[in-house]
């Protein structure tokens, strides 16, 4: 499943947001409440995710998050890829926060 940034914004309270970008990219801003799990570490971090709650995956443009969504879907998670990534999120002037521990 895919959602636009506007659609994701309306569903923030009902899902867990996972940002799969690399640490330096987070300085461009994150979605408030998002958990940072770099794409390459998704396989060893699935235990940190709640399998009963949808997982919205986010990256810079939507490509890496699509890969993460495929992996997590195969692992049994209900996943949503945010199309356009954080580039689109910020272009639409949706709110961001800086990471607490870059």
Where does residue 14 rank: exposed (0-12), middle (13-18), buried (19+ CB within 10 A)? exposed
Q: Catalytic residue among 57, 59, 82, 86, which?
A: 59
CA torsion through residues 80, 82, 86, 90, sign: negative
Whether residue 59 lies in the annotated active site:
yes
Q: How far apart are CA 84 and CA 100, in angstroms?
A: 24
Contacts of 55 by beta carbon, 8 Å cutoff, 6+ apart: 15, 16, 18, 49, 69, 72, 77, 78, 79, 80
Annotated catalytic residues are: 59
């Amino acid at each position: 499943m895919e959602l636009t940034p506007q659609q994701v914004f309306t569903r923030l309270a009902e899902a867990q947001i996972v940002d799969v970008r690399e640490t330096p990219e987070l300085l461009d801003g994150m979605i408030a409440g998002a958990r940072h799990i770099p794409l390459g570490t998704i396989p060893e971090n699935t235990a940190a995710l709640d399998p009963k709650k949808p997982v919205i995956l986010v990256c810079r443009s939507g490509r890496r998050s699509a890969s993460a969504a495929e992996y997590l879907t195969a692992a049994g998670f209900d996943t949503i890829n945010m199309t356009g990534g954080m580039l689109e999120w910020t272009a639409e002037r949706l709110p961001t926060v800086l990471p607490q521990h870059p």
